[in-house]
Amino acid sequence: MVEFCPECHNMLRKKLMDGKPSLACRCGYHQNIVRDELEVQNDIQKKKDALKNNLIVVSADDKISVHPIVPKDCPKCKNDKAEAWQEQTRSADEPSTSFFRCTKCKHTFREY
Ligand SMILES: [Zn+2]
Ligand SMILES: [Zn+2]
């Protein structure tokens, strides 16, 4: 990426200024690349945080179990209660599959 000086429109050269990579012009104008990249990173981080916050709200809702607990034998630990829900498989004309998650060992199994 070639940057031009906003003052005199000469090409900026990469140069170390105070140990930081900068773009400098012979007219004395210079900009700090690192600072700019950090600003970009900050922007990205802010967007990520905003996204994450939204996702946290969404996933918090997700994590609240809305599945009813039904009497169901767990094939793994023989617990007799499991969360139950149904999921539609690939095509709409196939019957939906019942899923169960053991309330004790969290083993998930299904019934056709
Ligand atoms: Zn210049
Ligand atoms: Zn179990």
Pick from 96, 98, 102, 103: nearest CA to 75: 102
Task: Please enumerate in sequence order all residues whose Cβ is within 8 A of that of 19, keeping only pairs 6 or more positions apart, or say none.
Answer: none
Whole-structure pTM value: 0.40
**39-58 residue pLDDT tens:** 778 888 888 887 776 654 44
Structure tokens at 42: 């900050």
Beta-carbon neighbours within 5 Å of ion ligand 2: 74, 76-77, 79, 102, 104-105, 107
Active-site annotation holds for 87: no
pLDDT at 17: 79
**19-30 residue pLDDT tens:** 888 889 999 998
Active-site annotation holds for 93: yes
Which listed ligand is nearest to 104 at the C-alpha?
2
Give the residue ranges of the chain where pLDDT is below 50.
56-61
